[in-house]
Amino acid sequence: MQKKSFYLTTPIFYPNAKLHMGHAYTTTLSDCIVRYHREVLSDKTYFLTGSDENTQKMVDAARKAGQEPLVFLDDIVANFAKLFGNLDISYDQFIRTTDQKKHWPGAQLLWKKLVEAGDIYKKEYEGLYCVGHEAFVTEKDLVDGKCPDHGTEPILLKEENYFFRLSKYTGEIKKRIESDELKIVPVSRKSEILALLEEGLQDVSFSRPRRADWPQGLGVPVPGDDSQVMYVWCDALANYITALGYGRDDALYEEFWPADVHVIGKDILRFHAAIWPGMLLSAGVPLPQSLLVHGFITSGGKKMSKSLGNVIDPEELLAEYDTDAVRYFLLRHVSPFEDGDITREAFKDAYNANLANGLGNLASRIMQLAQTHLEKGAEPETPEAFPAEYADAFKSFEVHHAADLVWSRIQSLDQKITETAPFKLVKTDAEAGKKIIFELTQELHMIALMLAPFMPETSKKIVAAVKENKKPENLFARKD
Ligand code: ME8
């Protein structure tokens, strides 16, 4: 049978600073969904992540660090890869928007398609530009003259730019979103964008004059006008197709586009649900099928910030706890649809209750019994289908519910041990006791398979323990 293809993307991250817990969240959530498709459904998957490099804020950060921007970028991007490695993120490609071979040809081809459609025009523009957002803002976006998200004053820019005729596509975008051809999950985010579309979209500035302090190699040149580089969002959004070979080598593109899902945070909904579909409609490229829009991670109910001292650095957490423990917390204790709070206390409590004393304890109790009482080689059964509720939860991106289902099985299995007391039963009725122990191993095996998208290493260790009929190594040992 032809395998189904499944293509998922994360946002491409700004490499002006280290990644934080929010970025770790987006990427881990994405990885869990991809692993479900790859490992549970056996779909043919493609998983893209990357970095959004052609930005003023990166140049500013590099200068502040006393480094050349392109060298600075390489260092930061190496750190991204390290964090993703530590989180066991199974991406197929990391696209960088300074990649002149992989990214630029497709970004420029897309631009040319917009020109051919008559949707690019030149205009003098004056406006307030927030470097943090890499976007023009209006007076009403400001609080006391400052951007409330970044705490900085926007700069006044007067430039001659190319504009994209986004206004032309308001009606069509609205139709596609209303009908769920471009499905926006959760529905509250769909309503939010439909309200914006109701007001009508405005044309967007799509290029900037090349700045004198930008080195060669930064900023995608506008085709036919080297004095201008593409506006960063125009170039960044294109990554979702350029990485697949749009404009250079179409094999992956043919196989995987349109994307099944773009995973994004709530802060970048407008770009993905208005500008991106507008660009694709203009270029005659099919739209992605869905956007999964997640909330923000807070700590102790507040945005993480250095001044509040509530920042939880993912690398620090990973130095203390196993990768799978961090993944577990992000995936089960944060809802993808709302803001989610992380504190060290909540993390520690969940770790002790659900991992060390929950899953870890259950697996070692069962396998201790199996090792003592069963003959070797009781092959675990591989299920033909996973529970419908589990599949439904993934289908609607409710990964935290899928994880809850696993933990309710863990609880039932604990209860079954208490009720059947197989460790006593084997002494009075060996056959009956062994039968129950065997059932326990089969159910534990199912739990391990269901855990694969969440905790890949733990899942493998339990599957191996059941196969080899022996107690697994320490599953949740704290690192010291
Ligand atoms: O916006 N909680 O990049 P970025 C949860 N380059 N997720 C968070 C978060 C938080 N507190 N903070 C950030 C950009 N994120 C653009 C994207 S895509 C073509 C270009 C996550 O480095 C969330 O997914 O600012 C958000 O959308 C993304 O990081 C933004 O990362």
Residue 480's pLDDT is 47
Index of the ligand 1 atom closest to the CA of residue 14: 22
Q: How far apart are CA 299 and CA 304, in angstroms?
A: 6
Q: How far apart are CA 480 and CA 467, in angstroms?
A: 31
Q: Which residues contact 344 (CB under 8 A, 6 or more apart)?
A: 312
Structure tokens, 301: 């109910």
Quote the ligand 1 centre to 26 CA distance (angstroms).
8
Which residues in 172-197 are b (16+ Cβ under 10 Å) and which e?
Answer: ebbebbeeeebbbbbeebbebbeebb
Q: Which phi and psi (to 5°) does residue 258 adopt?
A: -75, 150
Mutate to test the pocket of ligand 1, among 110, 268, 329 (most ligand atoms within 8 A of CB): 268
Which residue intervals of 208-359 are DSSP H helices?
A: 232-237, 239-242, 251-256, 269-270, 276-283, 314-320, 323-333, 344-350
Over the stretch 402-423, which tens digit does the pLDDT of each residue have?
A: 999 999 999 999 999 999 999 9
Q: How far apart are CA 95 and CA 47, in angstroms?
A: 11
Round the CA-based radius of gyration of the chain to a whole number and report it: 25
Ligand 1 — pocket residues by CB below 6 A? 11-14, 22-23, 25-26, 52, 236-237, 239, 264-265, 267-268, 296-297
> Quick one: residue 381, left, alpha or beta (phi over 0 = left, psi -120 to 50 = alpha)?
beta
Q: Which residues contact 254 (CB under 8 A, 6 or more apart)?
A: none
Q: How far apart are CA 385 and CA 202, in angstroms?
A: 48
Render 391-459 in DSSP notation, one character per residue: HHHHHTT-HHHHHHHHHHHHHHHHHHHHHH-HHHHHHH-HHHHHHHHHHHHHHHHHHHHHHTTT-HHHH
Index of the ligand 1 atom closest to the CA of residue 236: 19
Render 47-94 in DSSP notation, one character per residue: EEEEE----HHHHHHHHHTTS-HHHHHHHHHHHHHHHHHHTT---SEE
Query: What does each of the 480 residues of the chain score in pLDDT, given as a tens digit?
Result: 557 999 999 999 999 988 999 999 999 999 999 999 999 999 999 999 999 999 999 999 999 999 999 999 999 999 999 999 999 999 999 999 999 999 999 999 999 999 999 999 999 888 898 888 888 888 888 999 999 888 889 999 888 899 999 999 999 999 999 999 999 999 999 999 999 999 999 999 999 999 888 999 999 999 999 999 999 999 999 999 999 999 999 899 999 999 999 999 999 999 999 999 999 999 999 999 999 999 999 988 888 776 777 788 999 999 999 999 999 999 999 999 999 999 999 999 999 999 999 999 999 999 999 999 998 756 777 788 899 999 999 999 999 999 999 999 999 999 999 999 999 999 999 999 999 999 999 999 999 999 999 999 999 999 999 999 999 987 886 554
Q: Looking at ligand 1, which residue's alpha carbon is closest to its atom 7? A: 22
Quote the ligand 1 centre to 265 CA distance (angstroms).
6
Contact 447, 458 (CB under 8 A): no
Q: Which residues contact 367 (CB under 8 A, 6 or more apart)?
A: 441, 444, 465, 466, 469, 470, 471, 472
> pTM here?
0.94
The CB density around residue 233, as the number of other CB atoms within 10 Å, is 23
Please return the burial class of 377, using the count of CB atoms within 10 Å of its CB with bins 0-12, 13-18 and 19+: exposed
Quote the ligand 1 centre to 387 CA distance (angstroms).
33
Structure tokens, 219: 């900023």
Mutate to test the pocket of ligand 1, among 12, 13, 240 (most ligand atoms within 8 A of CB): 13
Structure tokens, 347: 């993390």
Q: How far apart are CA 100 and CA 229, in angstroms?
A: 14
Quote the ligand 1 centre to 222 CA distance (angstroms).
26
Contact 99, 14 (CB under 8 A): no
Residue 256's pLDDT is 98
Quote the ligand 1 centre to 154 CA distance (angstroms).
20
Contact 433, 425 (CB under 8 A): yes
- DSSP 3-state percent helix, strand, coil across the chain (nearest 5): 50, 15, 35
Structure tokens, 208: 């900037």
